[in-house]
Amino acid sequence: MIDAFILRALAAGIGVALVTAALGCFVVWRRMAYFGDSLSHSALLGIALGLLAGVGINAGILIVCSVFALLLVWLQHQHILATDTLLGILAHSALSVGMVVISLMEFPNFDLHSYLFGDILTVQRSDLMWIYGGGFFVIGVILWQWTSLTLMTISEELAQAEGVNTFVANLILMMMMTVVVAASVRIVGILLVSSLLIIPAATARQWARSPETMALTAAVFGVLAVILGILASAYFDTPSGPSIVSAAALAFFVTLGIQTTRGRTQHTGLD
């Protein structure tokens, strides 16, 4: 019989994998991986302020990451510095301030390691409510804005010609990433949260022939990585978050090898 904490971990991981699949496709298409990393780094400040204000960790992450995204959009429109420079400044500032606040306040029972690298095996029912509540919200918004986001990914000029407000669409995409980060921190941790957005989508890109197929395939690879990672973590007593990411990376390199081999075979006419 499977222990209850393993079942909760599987439910949490599968929920995150499903919601990051479609969103991760846009992250890969629009080359927003660095934004995902920067957003996840700012989550540490959200954790610190959430504990300090007594509003809860998830709410703190959501508030700080939302402010981070809005501040980035505003600074981008000021044309002060390049976007990657702004991301570096904001991300490392938030991460550093978060560490300082945590060290000064000395929160009791605070395990920094579990928030940096995740601890899915300690997920509680309240975490599941956050994950699935936020997940349904994100998936609903993505389905509602799917055409606009896809057009904007292909060409912002084309999207504008079709009447899409690209500023609002970009802001929606950033805010959805904020919700996902807030819901995913307990699963793979601050340092690895963007990996669930990037790796399954990058793996699916090798097989998919349409945006919709890529999103569905990314969901399959994400769920598979979660299941294999949790089982490996339980069996080998390894950290759960890194185990999930390692399983996702393994799937990526295996599929990359298969596709490379197939390409060479077809090129030499042996297929």
Distance separating alpha carbons of residues 129 and 121, to the nearest angstrom: 16
Q: What angle do CA 94, 121, 107 make, to 5 degrees?
A: 40
For residue 271, the model assigns a pLDDT of: 44
Element (H, E) at 141: helix 125-144
Which amino acid is it at 143?
L
For residue 268, the model assigns a pLDDT of: 42
User: For the whole model, what pTM was predicted?
Assistant: 0.87
- Looking at domain 4-193, its CATH architecture is Orthogonal Bundle (1.10)
- pLDDT tens track of the chain, all 271 residues? 567 888 888 999 999 999 998 899 999 988 888 888 888 889 999 999 998 888 888 889 999 999 998 898 888 878 888 888 988 999 999 999 998 988 888 777 778 888 888 888 788 888 888 889 989 999 999 999 999 999 988 888 888 888 888 888 888 898 899 888 888 887 788 878 889 899 999 999 988 888 899 999 999 999 999 999 999 988 888 888 899 999 999 999 999 999 888 765 554 444 4
Q: How many other C-beta atoms are found inside a 10 Å radius of the C-beta of residue 46?
A: 29
For the chain, domain boundaries = 4-193
Distance separating alpha carbons of residues 121 and 119, to the nearest angstrom: 5
Helix/strand number for the chain, H first, E second: 12, 0
